[in-house]
Structure 1
């Protein structure tokens, strides 16, 4: 950014010089010299640093993650322990049809629960909380009475990469501390008691706290 400032300053000085003095050979030479100096300075900017600045300015990018299917496709096949498998499975059944950003948001809710004293302290624990009591669990797919069959391998491969990035801490925070979510297809009563923090695709995200008119 300092180079940009120098460039702006150089152009301003050159403009002032040309306005305040007649168009002489000396003035023209001074302006040309300033332009050459700036050109050399711009060439010294590190390409990696410049690329990082451009990426960070994008609303669809943060940290190591870019919220796109192309980015996910470029990532290596992920692997991991039971925590990884639990999160990948949850994303498959809860958000495989969601946007990439929406999938990361669902992963973040689960991660926020793991960090909260109100919920179990592991991904598998959070995801399977209440499992065994039909429709009394936290994640419906674990207690709806249907077999958990992964019938779309391509969708599972994608959410697995989301799960790996989330577990590795590579994903930015995008839900403002949400620990709850639901789809736009339902209107649970608890949603009126909490503060909505975000919406991605067909998912609405909430954190504990009273909903206000400004939210």
Structure 2
């Protein structure tokens, strides 16, 4: 309400109380008591005009040298939380966990997750088998012996956690849209594929 309107209202109220000649002076005192200073800004307006949006930082960074560098601390926390939940591994989830275990155990968590995401990207691409187990067991695609059994220890629990995180898309892609990878010690002729980046001892392509 503007000051003029407050003056009029206050004068009316005081005058109605007794048609007193000092009504304008009383109204002025009433205005001083109820009207905010001219330079006062309502808290809700101030907050809306000065609030700074909370912009989340990216979950991963691809450096100029093509080395993928996600934030390990955050993924470490997520893996630890998932391990605590003791995710089960059967069917496609078991195939995914086994591939992570045999292809990438001992690698950085980001590298293990990237391997799992490569398999899921293949399933989604339509150019490979339509299931995780189909992709993992496809002839000539992965180097590990399918008949081997993972040792029941921390590496296997980590692989199961990574598989659960990848399968539920609980973490962003660390090697976006990658559908292939190889060990850095191996030379390959994938000239037609785009190099996404290197994580640990693996190079990823799409």
- The normalised TM-score by structure 1 is 0.62
Corresponding position: 1:93 with 2:96: no
| Larger of the two Rg values belongs to structure | 2
* 1:188–1:123 distance in 2 versus 1, CA, 3 Å: same
The answer to whether the Cα contact below 8 Å between 1:67 and 1:101 also exists between their aligned partners in 2 is: no
Aligned-residue Cα RMSD (Å) equals: 3.0
Residue correspondences, number: 155
- Identify the residue that residue 24 of structure 1 maps to in structure 2: none
* 1:89–1:186 distance in 2 versus 1, CA, 3 Å: same
- Identify the residue that residue 25 of structure 2 maps to in structure 1: none
The answer to whether the Cα contact below 8 Å between 1:176 and 1:198 also exists between their aligned partners in 2 is: no
* 1:39–1:153 distance in 2 versus 1, CA, 3 Å: farther
Runs of 4+ residues deviating >6 angstroms = none
Higher relative contact order (CA 8 A, sep 6+): 2
1:44-193 matched pairs, under 5 angstroms: 53=54, 56-60=56-60, 67-75=74-82, 76-130=85-139, 137-142=140-145, 148-151=148-151, 153-189=153-189, 191-193=190-192
Deviation at 1:58, TM superposition (A): 4.8
The answer to whether the Cα contact below 8 Å between 1:60 and 1:66 also exists between their aligned partners in 2 is: no
Structure 1 distance, partners of 2:60, 2:157, is 21
Secondary structure at the counterpart of residue 170 of structure 1: coil
More helix by share: 1
Structure 2 distance, partners of 1:198, 1:67, is 20
Deviation at 1:198, TM superposition (A): 2.0
Note the alpha carbon deviations across 1:172-207, whole angstroms, 9 max, x for none. 123232111011111112x22311012212211111
Deviation at 1:148, TM superposition (A): 1.4
The answer to whether the Cα contact below 8 Å between 2:89 and 2:160 also exists between their aligned partners in 1 is: no
The answer to whether the Cα contact below 8 Å between 2:194 and 2:205 also exists between their aligned partners in 1 is: yes
Deviation at 1:38, TM superposition (A): 7.9
Consecutive unaligned residues of structure 2, counting only runs of 5 or more, are: 1-36, 62-71
Deviation at 1:60, TM superposition (A): 4.9
Secondary structure at the counterpart of residue 141 of structure 1: coil
The answer to whether the Cα contact below 8 Å between 1:128 and 1:142 also exists between their aligned partners in 2 is: no
